[in-house]
Structure 1
Amino acid sequence: MTTLPPNKSTNVRSVLEYVPYFRGKIFAVHVEQPLVNSEELVDALLDLDALQEIGVKPILIAEGLDASALYEHTRVCEMRSALVEAPLKGGQLVRERVREILGRHQIPVVASGRTGSFDTDSIHLAYTLGASKYIALLNDHKVPSRDGHPIAAILESEVAGLSGELTHRELLDQAAEACRAGIPRVHLLDGKMRGVLVEELFSEEGVGTMVHTDSYREIRPLKEEDIPELLSMIARSVVDSKLVDRNYEDIAAKIDDYYVLTLDDSIVGCVAVYPYPEHRSAELGCLYIKHRHEGRGYGRTLCEFARKKAEEMGMNFIFALSQSAVHYFRDRMHYAEFSRDSLPPERLRALELSGRKSGVFGLRLK
């Protein structure tokens, strides 16, 4: 059974959302030598066993010359594992042995043959096998932070430019280098934290540091299959009269105007850009961030995206209508307050018919 940290409970819905995404993927898990005989490692091994049950293909890499102790722990945990007799520095034949064990639905347990969590042989193995994740289980709480705050996720391309008071900078640099070597996601995790794999892998923000390539966070056009998710996401704000009520058909009719913010392919926010080309204006609408992701700057990111999209359309003015987010648009996004006469006539008529007492906030784009 998958273990959970004593003070946390993983959202079951989040877990179920990730299961099809993880199925069939290879996760290379590197274990620092001091963790091999720790009590906490048992939790991680049980979680890896559960991951294998849902279709993940784990590889266990022990730091150093000998993986036999780590292999014995997997046997005690009744995992479907097999020991690779030689360390990875043995070259191509060892990598082929790892591939063979994976192919028969067992977890290969192999020694790196070297020190450190990011030795070249371990990274090369992960890349040649097409691993989607490289997970470093670290000893002594070595997860990086910046100015006293954990770094949850960072683009590989942004690591070099990080400033401020950083801890464990060398690990960030090594993780970024692993991304450049072809691994999409590199996770730096505290191996002494119980349930760390579950908390990291089955939530969008995680509990460690993830260094990733560009595809982790993106804003993309809404797809028709996303509409039910969007409707359920904004329902609370509709009930609270913070957003205009929309149904499936309303959104489908203007689907090209909607965009979603995703983290690791999971939708966490949305925005719409409705064009009024005759008046060289665009409306920023349906701005929403899921509750558990508020306060992370995603709303600002979507507003900036909407502004740039309006500029690409050749618009001179972008506006938002709101009666509940006055502080946000006026004081945080620095939108100026305008009279209703500044709206395109058809939008003004629709607003008046709705009876909503929304204010008009906008930016001149040119």
Structure 2
Amino acid sequence: MNLSHLRGILTYVPEFRDKTFVIALDGAVIAHENFSHVVLDLAVLRSLNIRVVVVHGIGWQLTQAAKQSHFTPSNIDGTGVTDRPTLELAIQVANHVTHQILEALTSCDLRACYANAITAYPYGILRGVDQEFTGKVEKVDVSFLRDLLSHQIIPVLPPLGFDGEGKTFRVNSDGVALAVAEALGATKIIFLCSYAGIERSGRLIRQLPVTEAESWLKKDRPTLEPHLRSKLEHAVRACRRGVSRVHIVDGRVNEALLTEVFSREGTGTMIYADEYESIRPANKKDVRVILDLIRESMEVEELAYRSREDVANRITDYYVFELDRTVVGCVALHSYPETGQGEIACLHVARGHENKGLGRKLVSFAENVARSRGLRQVFALSTQAYTFFQQKMGFREETPQILPESRRKRYEESGRKSKILVKDLTG
């Protein structure tokens, strides 16, 4: 990891410190040679005071064990019928995999333990078929898990649960990850699996709003692979239950976990809750509202002067942040397709709503719009907010030569001597 990567990580530290991440490991990732690197990535997260809970699957290991025993399991992933022989084999495999994870974490000087924190009850009879020893999560022992986390201990949870009488049930690991994340109020669920993320028409989808994910599930559900459908379904439920970000990442790729968490581009697919629903394109009725919002900042020269005509003529470039039907922030994205660049401009948050992350959301939204337009780079010109762009949003300072010719001319004519901040959207 080079110096620029380290700087990138450090910009996220204040945002993620003391937050909880649920890391859901597919069995195939644990069996892969890159698993030792995944454990090192977990050590990095812990070193930054991020609380980590590990939930693991056993599908790959259960399949291998069944082949060696010349045995046909009734179910692999904990979503179908689990008969007694399959349950017994699943318990053996789960215990082995849990122990393997504990060994790996200990080798990196991380304290961890097996956490019997899942209360489960029988799935029951589904469409006339008794699911036998397949269970669903009834309750998560939150106080137990929080006590472990407060003592810097990583809880490791297998895809098993127990009822009040001590009976064991096979549960789906994606469901365990969802239940644990919801109970703990986790910031993220990160599914580390054996594929790159969610692809459509051969293209990896980097970011997916939960509303689009829901629509996709309704329309294309029958055509989705079962493992992908499970991840997508649980991601949607997580976002609807308070988990703001769910990531689907290829755990076989070195440093994929860190890249996904500590870069804007990531490596896999991020499904996010609709916090951006509050951000909408501006319309002609918003011209006066925007001018009223930014007037004071223009008077003290925090923002360059814009006339009513200026804003009206480029209103399609503007976006506003609305809370309770009141506009409390704005941003503009001016595109320069000839150079593959976009300018993030007129960023402003109303007094009384500052220091709540709205500025970050507006800039991130503008970056996403720029990516959707195929732009490779964004820049911002600032006389007083340049530290925000550098320290919070990962921009770097550049010379005027980086600007498109038409924008450079206006920059030189303005005499404001703004700092030029640039951020690449690719790579």
- 1:194, CA displacement in angstroms? 0.9
Work out whether residues 159 and 173 of structure 2, in 8 Å CA contact, stay in contact via their aligned partners in 1.
no
Work out whether residues 136 and 189 of structure 1, in 8 Å CA contact, stay in contact via their aligned partners in 2.
yes
Backbone CA RMSD of aligned residues: 4.3
- 1:51, CA displacement in angstroms? 1.1
User: 1:43–1:10: structure 2 CA closer, same or farther, 3 Å change rule?
Assistant: farther
Map 1:1-366 onto structure 2 (within 5 A).
Answer: 4=1, 11-64=5-58, 65-66=94-95, 67-85=98-116, 89=120, 92=139, 94-113=141-160, 114=170, 116-119=172-175, 121-139=176-194, 141=195, 143-162=197-216, 168-215=228-275, 250-252=301-303, 259-260=330-331, 270-272=344-346, 294-297=370-373, 324=406
The aligned amino acid for 1:187 is H
User: 1:98–1:218: structure 2 CA closer, same or farther, 3 Å change rule?
Assistant: same
Matches of 1:137 and 1:209 in 2, distance apart? Answer: 11
Matches of 1:79 and 1:173 in 2, distance apart? Answer: 32
- 1:111, CA displacement in angstroms? 1.4
Matches of 1:197 and 1:248 in 2, distance apart? Answer: 45
- 1:36, CA displacement in angstroms? 2.1
- 1:259, CA displacement in angstroms? 3.3
User: 1:142–1:170: structure 2 CA closer, same or farther, 3 Å change rule?
Assistant: farther
Matches of 2:414 and 2:54 in 1, distance apart? Answer: 62
User: 1:219–1:271: structure 2 CA closer, same or farther, 3 Å change rule?
Assistant: farther
User: 1:130–1:30: structure 2 CA closer, same or farther, 3 Å change rule?
Assistant: same
The aligned amino acid for 1:324 is S
Matches of 1:45 and 1:55 in 2, distance apart? Answer: 16
Q: 3-state DSSP class of the match of 1:251?
A: coil
User: 1:289–1:31: structure 2 CA closer, same or farther, 3 Å change rule?
Assistant: closer
Q: 3-state DSSP class of the match of 2:55?
A: strand
Q: 3-state DSSP class of the match of 1:250?
A: coil
Q: 3-state DSSP class of the match of 2:275?
A: coil
Q: Could you list the runs of 5+ residues in structure 1 that have no partner in the other structure?
A: 221-246, 263-267, 275-286, 303-321, 326-350, 357-366
Write the deviation string for residues 244-266 of structure 1: whole angstroms up to 9, x where unpaired: xxx995225869x983489xxxx
Task: Give the structure 2 partner of residue 335 of structure 1.
Answer: none
User: 1:292–1:115: structure 2 CA closer, same or farther, 3 Å change rule?
Assistant: same
Q: 3-state DSSP class of the match of 1:39?
A: coil
Matches of 2:197 and 2:56 in 1, distance apart? Answer: 19
Matches of 1:248 and 1:18 in 2, distance apart? Answer: 33
User: 1:96–1:288: structure 2 CA closer, same or farther, 3 Å change rule?
Assistant: closer
Q: Could you list the runs of 5+ residues in structure 2 that have no partner in the other structure?
A: 59-93, 121-136, 161-169, 281-297, 312-328, 334-341, 349-362, 379-403, 416-427
Q: 3-state DSSP class of the match of 1:36?
A: helix
Matches of 1:138 and 1:213 in 2, distance apart? Answer: 21
Work out whether residues 127 and 182 of structure 1, in 8 Å CA contact, stay in contact via their aligned partners in 2.
yes
Write the deviation string for residues 228-284 of structure 1: whole angstroms up to 9, x where unpaired: xxxxxxxxxxxxxxxxxxx995225869x983489xxxxx9623399xxxxxxxxxx
Write the deviation string for residues 114-170 of structure 1: whole angstroms up to 9, x where unpaired: 454421x3312111111000111112x152111111111111111133479977345
User: 1:27–1:88: structure 2 CA closer, same or farther, 3 Å change rule?
Assistant: farther
- 1:96, CA displacement in angstroms? 3.1
Percent of aligned pairs sharing the same letter: 25
Matches of 1:68 and 1:125 in 2, distance apart? Answer: 20
Matches of 2:6 and 2:369 in 1, distance apart? Answer: 17
The aligned amino acid for 1:47 is D
Matches of 1:249 and 1:355 in 2, distance apart? Answer: 16
User: 1:271–1:181: structure 2 CA closer, same or farther, 3 Å change rule?
Assistant: same
Matches of 2:41 and 2:257 in 1, distance apart? Answer: 7
Shift >4 Å, 4+ stretches: 85-88, 90-94, 114-117, 163-167, 216-220, 252-255, 287-295
Matches of 2:57 and 2:212 in 1, distance apart? Answer: 28
Q: 3-state DSSP class of the match of 1:102?
A: helix
Matches of 1:102 and 1:294 in 2, distance apart? Answer: 39
Matches of 2:241 and 2:344 in 1, distance apart? Answer: 33
User: 1:101–1:273: structure 2 CA closer, same or farther, 3 Å change rule?
Assistant: closer
Q: 3-state DSSP class of the match of 2:238?
A: helix
The aligned amino acid for 2:210 is E
TM-score by length of 1: 0.58
Write the deviation string for residues 176-212 of structure 1: whole angstroms up to 9, x where unpaired: 1221122111111111111111110111121111111
User: 1:269–1:25: structure 2 CA closer, same or farther, 3 Å change rule?
Assistant: farther
